[in-house]
Amino acid sequence: MMTKSESLFQEAVKYIPGGVNSPVRAFGSVGLTPRFIERARGSHMYDVDGREYLDFVGSWGPMILGHDHPAVRESVIKACEDGLSFGAATEREVEMAELICSLVPSIDMVRMVNSGTEAVMSAVRAARGYTGRDKIVKFMGCYHGHSDAMLVKAGSGVMTAGVPDSAGVPAGCTADTLSAVYNDLDSVQSLFDLCGDQIAAVIVEPVGANMGVVPPAEGFLQGLRDICTRYGSLLIFDEVITGFRLGLDGAQGYFGVQADLTTFGKIIGAGMPVGAYGGKREIMETVAPVGKVYQAGTLSGNPVAMAAGLAQLRLLRDDPLFYEKLNRKGDSFYGEIERIAEESGKPVRVNHVGSLGCVFFTEVPVVNYATAKTADTQKYAAYFASMLKQGIYLAPAQFEAMFLSAAHSEEELAYALECIKKSI
Ligand code: KE4
């Protein structure tokens, strides 16, 4: 007898490529049928077969307060009663822009878009428009969404798919994208030695979270800041994951390094489709309709999405202990996993920053793309399957992150640790 997820997946693959609307959801690298989720609340998700899961994906980051937070839900319902979209300016967009600018010191102005991909694509265009230069430096293993120029040695699903560069991307689109090694400032300097006066920007995930989780080495981010300043290039922090995850001023506040442009997604939409990019006034004023960098979007700043994001961001802003508690929860949880791994004697490495973490099946310390790639994806698949059987829902791929939320209780985390003990 097929489960409902199995029969739905059988249908889905007829009409949707791979049966999913985003590749990593297909469970391809763990070799299982994806679970079709019916609803979620707090730290739990429930699939169409009535199975309950303790969720460590949190929709890939947005659910920092847990799923279906009442204040977020109420704000969405109320916004819906006034209409879903007007294609016109609204008050909530002003409130959202003011809020982000008030919380992130490096941001004077911000533009809302509809995804992290769109935020990065637009920020890169603004950097090129502002500097008059074409080249962009990114890091192998960092994923910045699927715009053509960024699909070079990307992370996330591209890594799992074993396709370092995507099909369908003309060579011309990536000719100006240079790849450096994460945590290796010499690899960046050598690119600047070659063509520093042509480099518009360096874009980086201030915490690598798409090759699994890879923290920035001491001095790495500051080193990027110094190189960009020296050559008149812009430093773009892709904070689609770290933004409002590590703190109200994201990785910039957490590590004390300011970017020239910052991209956001996920948490600022609380689960609704929202992205944003922002930075210094003189850069953002190159963007249409003020400047000549064109960027637009039918649903950008959508009132319902803004209502969801505003509700979540205000809750994060108004709890002075929120991040201290969440980051401490992460230190304790991932620290326990590290202890379990060490006691097991198995070749397992654990990286984490705050509530973001990753269990790598390798004995090699994971500090960049090459060392992340030493992880045994088959062992991860077996670990994933064992955890799923015990009702723990992890990222269905080795090169992703675990996300803790305020909704994960101590008891739930203790149970997850017991499951990990049996599964690694
Ligand atoms: P979206 O276009 O998926 O909203 O954002 C792209 C993006 C940009 N920058 C960073 C640092 C990101 O992590 C992402 C997207 N993250 C993945 C998770 N690895 C989304 C999950 C998926 O692709 O389904």
> For residue 267, how far is its CA from the centre of ligand 1 (angstroms)?
12
Read off the pLDDT band of 397 (50, 70, 90).
very high
To test the pocket of ligand 1, the residue of 240, 242, 264, 274 to mutate (highest count of ligand atoms within 8 Å of its CB) is 240
Average pLDDT over residues 115-140: 97
Q: DSSP assignment of 135-184, as one string?
A: EEEEETT----S-GGG-BS--THHHHTT-SB-TT--HHHHTTEEEE-TT-
d(CA 104, CA 181): 27
Residue 263, CB-side half-sphere exposure with 13 Å CA sphere: 31
Per residue in 165-193, pLDDT (tens digit) is 788 998 888 889 999 999 999 999 999 99
Read off the pLDDT band of 163 (50, 70, 90).
very low
Average pLDDT over residues 289-307: 98
Per residue in 1-47, pLDDT (tens digit) is 999 999 999 999 999 999 999 999 999 999 999 999 999 999 999 99
Q: Does residue 135 have an active-site annotation? A: no
d(CA 424, CA 419): 9
Report the 10 Å Cβ neighbour count for 149: 22
* Residue position matching structure tokens 């911000």: 110
Question: What is the amino acid identity at position 352?
Answer: H
Read off the pLDDT band of 159 (50, 70, 90).
low
* Residue position matching structure tokens 């979540």: 312
Residue with CA at minimum distance from ligand 1 atom 20: 60
Read off the pLDDT band of 156 (50, 70, 90).
confident
Residue 248 has pLDDT above 70, yes or no: yes
Q: Where are the beta strands (DSSP E) in 340-380?
A: 349-353, 356-360
Q: Let me know how long the chain is.
A: 424
Cis status of the peptide bond prior to 289, with omega within 30 of 0 = yes
Residue 409 has pLDDT above 70, yes or no: yes
Measured CA distances, 408 to 41, 100, 219, 274, 370 (Å): 11, 26, 32, 24, 32
pLDDT of residue 359: 98
Which of 53, 130, 143, 323 is labelled catalytic? 143
Per residue in 360-394, pLDDT (tens digit) is 999 999 999 999 999 999 999 999 999 999 999 99
User: Considering the chain, what is the average pLDDT of its residues?
Assistant: 96
According to DSSP, the β-strands at 44-47 and 37-41 are antiparallel
What's the pTM value of the predicted model, to 2 decimals? 0.97
What percentage of the chain carries pLDDT values higher than 90?
94
Q: Does residue 238 have an active-site annotation? A: yes
Q: Where are the domains positioned within the chain?
A: 4-68+320-423, 70-318
> For residue 415, how far is its CA from the centre of ligand 1 (angstroms)?
29
Task: Please name which of 356, 340, 358, 352 lies closest in space to residue 405, comparing C-alpha atoms.
Answer: 356
* CATH class in words for 4-68+320-423: alpha beta
Torsion angle, alpha carbons of 221, 222, 226, 229, to 10: 70
pLDDT of residue 162: 40
d(CA 72, CA 271): 10
Report the 10 Å Cβ neighbour count for 102: 11
- CATH architecture of the domain with residue range 70-318: 3-Layer(aba) Sandwich (3.40)
> For residue 349, how far is its CA from the centre of ligand 1 (angstroms)?
23
pLDDT of residue 164: 46
Ligand 1 pocket, Cβ-based, cut-off 6 angstroms: 22, 24, 60, 115-117, 120, 143-145, 156-157, 205, 209-210, 238, 240-241, 265, 275, 400
